[in-house]
Amino acid sequence: MQKLFAYLNGIRRMSPELQQHLARILRQQCYKKREIILKRGNVCQHIRFIESGVIRISETANEKEVTTWLQKEDEIFIAINSFFGQAPSDALIEALADASTWGITFQELQDTIRQFPEFQIHFDAITAQYRRIENERTKILQALKPRDKYDWLLKTAPQLCQLVPVDYLASYLRVSRRLLFRIRKENAKGIRKGK
């Protein structure tokens, strides 16, 4: 919980009362590698902070499963449309490595904002950051060449390149599995090509 509090205090220092309130309602949830956190069709009831581990979010497009998010420790994850709309999720969320998370429900979030209006600033900052990351990632994945996408991921989240299975990495980077294998092989040998 201390990592989460450091994250929230990094946005804006929380009052002692808000911290005490959050300490009472936050629930730790641990997941095993490959455990499903949210099934498609279920409503996303929780917003969670990753204390350790790697989380994958996927959706189905043209009858094919596509990895839309790969998230690591010190990040927040939700099925965004399901959580905010309290509607059935199009997304599937799973742990790709053993994970420890802290979370609160949608209702607890609403109640906390009502009781502690200062928490609205934290929530707005988290939402804005989530949207900014989503937009930045979308631009990068659409604009860059395959090797540059992989280099970007190596630079910004090297642990994902080590912990995430190649099929999911390829899906996330929007490249073929075969091409990703080649890029990784060339990278290991120190070869740089313009593809």
Task: Give the contacts of 121 (CB within 8 A, at least 6 positions apart).
Answer: 11, 12
* Cα gap 41→24, rounded to integer Å: 30
pLDDT (0 to 100) of residue 45 = 97
pLDDT (0 to 100) of residue 189 = 77
Instruction: State the Cα torsion 164-170-171-172 to the nearest 10°.
Output: 60
**Torsion angles phi and psi, residue 82, rounded to 5:** -65, -45
DSSP string, 86-118: T-B-S-EEEESS-EEEEEEEHHHHHHHHHH-TT
Domain spans of the chain, in order of start: 2-119
Closest CA to 170 of 92, 99, 70, 95: 70
The CATH number, out of the four listed (2.60.120.10, 2.40.50.100, 3.30.360.10, 3.40.50.720), of the domain defined by the range 2-119:
2.60.120.10
Residues in the chain predicted with pLDDT less than 50, given as ranges, are: 194-195
Question: What is this structure's pTM?
Answer: 0.89
pLDDT (0 to 100) of residue 130 = 87
pLDDT (0 to 100) of residue 120 = 96
The continuous run of DSSP H or E covering 9 comes out as helix 2-11
How many CB atoms lie under 10 A from the CB of residue 59?
A: 16
